[in-house]
Amino acid sequence: MKTSRRGEIYDVMKVREDFPVLARKVNGHQLVYLDNAATSQKPRQVIAALVDYYERYNANVHRGVHTLSIEATDAYEEARAKVQKFINAPVPESVIWTRNTSESINLVAYAYARKHLKAGDEIVTTVMEHHSDLISWQQICKELGTRLRFIPRTEEGLIDLSTIDEIISARTKLVAVTHMSNVLGTIVPVREIAERAHAVGAVILVDGAQSVPHMPVDVQDLDCDFLAFSGHKMLGPTGIGVLYGKPEILEDMQPFMYGSDMILEVSYEGAKWNQLPYKFEAGTPNIADAIATGAAVDYLENLGMDAVWRHEQQLTAYALRRFAELENYRVVGPTDPSLRGGTISFTHDQVHPHDLGTALDRLGIAIRTGHHCAMPLVKSYGHAAVARASMYIYNHEGEIDHLIEGLKQAEGYFSHAGSRRS
């Protein structure tokens, strides 16, 4: 892996040229996009894949004998195979297209948990889940009479495994954990948790919404039973997600939705389910966005996920060093860059995150403010809201400098405001 003259792992400026939106000005300033944990921007190659499908071979899949339908089916299945390779899944049919991470998790809740769990069983999650990996399990617990238990965090915001053997016990039937916190940036030791889950005979689902776009993720190495993630956070379009499942577990599950494409044979009395993965893909799927997700995978593979991760680690370390210079801003979450990703939440001692967000927007800097769909976690730090800057492949140190400068300006603005004329 070569390092460019700017000390970068790949040429970030060249990468930026692939993202039309990054050339935009916002409120008279060059856009600095630091809301990647919410959604990433899209390169020309992904947008071109969408246009190409609609302009050249738009047709339904798995049905026609005509050329367009065959081409569409091939491209759709090729995209599945790309995702399979990307996460090192054993077979293409272990990759199911969904709408997003939330739908993938719901699929497991409805099609797996409802069938395999019963009253008295336990589901284990962590205290740093996104609402989509929390509410599904709360509802399953209400419905089935199962109990939800939580792996705690340390003061700093790392996962505390010291009581894991007590929390994941013989009563545990399902473990659902995030791979990277969308608030704290914390990397969750999924492999260790998976080992413990399997030792007690439980299955483990990993919410990879924040990890798959940013680091090499290998489902066989993690030994997870399910992995859920979204296309739109990894350069792909919105409206497309993935559920990976171990084939033998998926085989044993009932369909989640009923309709065309998911059946093999239908009579007026009943139906026989199609094989994997189609059993879980009822109706005409999101063909264009699946194909474009394949293009997004190509883009990331071309950079190399090791390089992507190293770039973000470098940038995170730089950003954390710059944050440490600021007297009244505090990072919420781990400060050791090797234990976290490039999602940095922070607060100011006096200025509310929402006011910070509005001030930064005036400077063209896009961050997110609020509870980030993790209300209990943000509350546990004593906040109702935090500000969050999150990075991706096209961000660079110059943009972090803009952010820090913007934060200083915002602080100055709100603290000197008393001397202004009303």
Partner 1 sequence: MQDLGDLDSLYRELILDHHRSPRNTEPLISPDVEVDAVNPFCGDEVKVQLKTSGGTLNGISVTGRGCSISQSSASMMGELVKGRSVEDAMRARRAFQALMKGEALTEDQLADLGDLEALQGVKRYPVRIKCALLAWSALEDALKRVRA
Is 422 a binding residue for partner 1 by CB under 8 A? The answer is yes
Q: How far apart are CA 341 and CA 391, in angstroms?
A: 9
Q: How far is the CB of 373 from partner 1 (least distance, A)?
A: 10
CA angle 19/24/25 to nearest 5° reads 155
Q: Nearer to partner 1 by C-beta: 253 or 351? A: 351
When asked if residue 352 is in the footprint of partner 1 (CB under 8 A), the reply is yes
In whole angstroms, how close is the CB of 127 to partner 1 at the nearest point? 17
Should residue 359 be labelled a site residue for partner 1 when binding is judged by CB under 8 A? yes
Note whether 409 binds partner 1 by CB under 8 A: yes
Q: Considering only residues 187, 385, 389, 400, which one is a binding residue for partner 1 as defined by CB under 8 A?
A: 385
CB closer to partner 1, 66 vs 354: 354
Between 96 and 374, name the residue whose CB sits nearer to partner 1. 374
User: Which range, of 110-118, 260-268, 273-281, 346-354, touches partner 1 by CB under 8 A?
Assistant: 346-354
Among 172, 178, 347, 369, binds partner 1 (CB under 8 A): 369
Pairing of strands 147-151, 271-273: unpaired
Q: Which is nearer to partner 1, 159 or 400 (CB)?
A: 400
Can 373 be counted among the known catalytic residues? Answer: yes
Cβ closer to partner 1: 48 or 384? 384
Least spacing, CB of residue 102 vs partner 1, in Å: 17
Instruction: Find the length of the chain.
Output: 422
Among the residue ranges 151-159, 229-237, 288-296, 368-376, the one whose residues contact partner 1 (CB under 8 A):
368-376
| Pair 390, 333: CB distance under 8 Å | no
- The answer to whether the peptide bond before residue 277 is cis (omega within 30 degrees of 0) is yes
- Told to check if 410 binds partner 1 by CB under 8 A, we report yes
d(CA 49, CA 77) in angstroms, rounded, equals 14
Cβ distance to partner 1 smaller for residue 333 or 341: 333
Q: How far is the CB of 396 from partner 1 (least distance, A)?
A: 21
Binding residues for partner 1 restricted to 19-78, rule: CB under 8 A: 29
Taking the C-alpha atoms of 234, 237, 239 and 245 in order, what is their torsion angle to the nearest 10 degrees? Answer: -40
- 363 lines the binding site for partner 1 (CB under 8 A): yes
- Does position 420 interact with partner 1 (CB under 8 A)? The reply is yes
Minimum CB separation from partner 1 for residue 156, in Å?
A: 22
Nearest to 224 by CA among 209, 254, 244: 244
Looking at beta carbons, which pairs linking 10-17 to residues 24 or more positions away fall under 8 Å? 10/303, 10/307, 10/311, 12/311, 12/393, 12/394, 12/395, 12/396, 13/396, 15/303, 15/393, 15/394, 16/394
Catalytic entry in 253, 296, 319, 373: 373
Out of 79, 206, 276, 378, the residue judged to bind partner 1 by CB under 8 A? 378
Residue 112 has phi, psi (to 5 degrees) of -105, -60
Q: Is 358 a residue that touches partner 1 (CB under 8 A)? A: yes
The yes or no reply on residue 343 touching partner 1 (CB under 8 A) is: no
Q: Binding to partner 1 by residue 417, rule CB under 8 A?
A: yes
Quote the CA–CA distance of 186 and 333 in Å, as a whole number: 7
Q: What's the min distance (Å) between Cβ of 388 and partner 1?
A: 12
For partner 1, the closer CB: 290 or 332: 332
If one asks whether residue 142 binds partner 1 (CB under 8 A), the answer comes out as no
User: Could you tell me how many residues of this chain bind partner 1 (CB under 8 A)?
Assistant: 28
Toward partner 1, which CB reaches closer, 46 or 385? 385
Q: Which residues bind partner 1 (CB under 8 A)?
A: 29, 352-355, 358-359, 362-363, 369-371, 375, 378, 383-385, 409-410, 412-414, 416-418, 420-422
Q: Which residues are tagged catalytic?
A: 373
